[in-house]
């Protein structure tokens, strides 16, 4: 996955069209799958379109609800794409294996079909959008919960628990970024120490 992302980032900088790839991030709850997705979006400077599918039964979360229906709304995919404007975002289908409706599961299959998602229709907006420029990420707890049709289309990535030192590095990186984003606190960034970051990890 790392090699793919390095090449993908290079192609984006050069303005090249890349073939859409689907990834399934596998790991138990709390291991950091959503965090990894956020870091990836930040590193690639792409908007993250987070679609929480755990236990969902309504197809409206993906395709929206027609204005002819009370309490109509656009689908999360088109909401996210409008934020990203013309740039392909990262679509995160969180806990997609826990979808609790057959119709929604079938629609999810269309999102993950790289031949069909170029012509995605939103019921609320009333027009079609192209999802093929988006990077598709799915999260699941265990491989045996992932439907066969997804396993046939996607690359399965096992997420391992970060080491203590890696977590210290993550905290250091995030804090420095936050401090440097404000002129009033930027000078504190170089004063951060490993001991301070370790304190933040250990203490509740």
User: Among residues 122, 138, 158, which one ends one of the domains?
Assistant: 158
The yes-or-no verdict on residue 21 having pLDDT over 50 is yes
Please state whether beta strands 22-26 and 155-158 pair in parallel, antiparallel, or not at all (unpaired).
parallel
Instruction: Kindly report whether the global pTM for this prediction surpasses the value 0.75.
Output: no
Stated as kind and residue range, the H or E segment containing 101 is: none
So what's the pLDDT on residue 131?
A: 87
Same domain, 140 and 53: yes
The yes-or-no verdict on residue 5 having pLDDT over 80 is no
Number of domains in the chain: 2
Q: Mind listing the pLDDT tens digit for each residue in 154-180? A: 889 888 877 788 778 888 888 888 899
Instruction: Put residue 99 in one of left, alpha, beta given phi > 0 → left and psi -120 to 50 → alpha.
Output: beta
Question: What band does 66 get if pLDDT is binned at 50, 70 and 90?
Answer: very high
The yes-or-no verdict on residue 85 having pLDDT over 60 is no
The yes-or-no verdict on residue 57 having pLDDT over 70 is yes
The yes-or-no verdict on residue 1 having pLDDT over 80 is no
- Measure Cα distances from 171 to 49, 52, 103, 168, 178 in Å: 23, 25, 41, 5, 11
CATH of the domain at 149: 3.40.50.300
Structural domain range at position 28: 2-158
Same domain, 120 and 138: yes
User: Among residues 158, 175, 190, which one ends one of the domains?
Assistant: 158
The yes-or-no verdict on residue 87 having pLDDT over 60 is no
């Amino acid at each position: 996955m790392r090699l793919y992302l390095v090449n993908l980032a290079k192609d984006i900088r050069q303005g090249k069209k890349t073939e859409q790839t689907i990834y399934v991030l596998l790991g138990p709850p709390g291991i950091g799958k959503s965090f990894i997705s956020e870091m990836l979006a930040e590193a690639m400077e792409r908007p993250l379109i987070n679609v929480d599918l755990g236990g969902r039964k309504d197809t409206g979360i993906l395709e929206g609800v027609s204005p002819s229906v009370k309490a109509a709304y656009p689908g999360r995919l088109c909401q996210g794409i409008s934020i990203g404007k013309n740039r392909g975002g990262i679509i995160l289908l969180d806990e997609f294996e826990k979808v609790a409706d057959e119709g929604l599961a079938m629609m999810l299959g269309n999102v993950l079909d790289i031949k069909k998602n170029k012509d995605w229709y939103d019921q609320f907006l009333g027009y079609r959008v192209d999802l093929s420029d988006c990077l598709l990420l799915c999260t699941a707890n265990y491989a045996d919960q992932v439907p066969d049709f997804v396993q046939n289309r996607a690359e399965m990535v096992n997420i391992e628990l970060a080491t203590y030192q890696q977590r210290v590095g993550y905290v250091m990186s995030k804090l420095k970024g936050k401090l440097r984003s404000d002129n009033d606190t930027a000078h504190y960034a170089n004063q951060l120490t490993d001991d301070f970051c370790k304190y933040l990890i250990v203490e509740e």
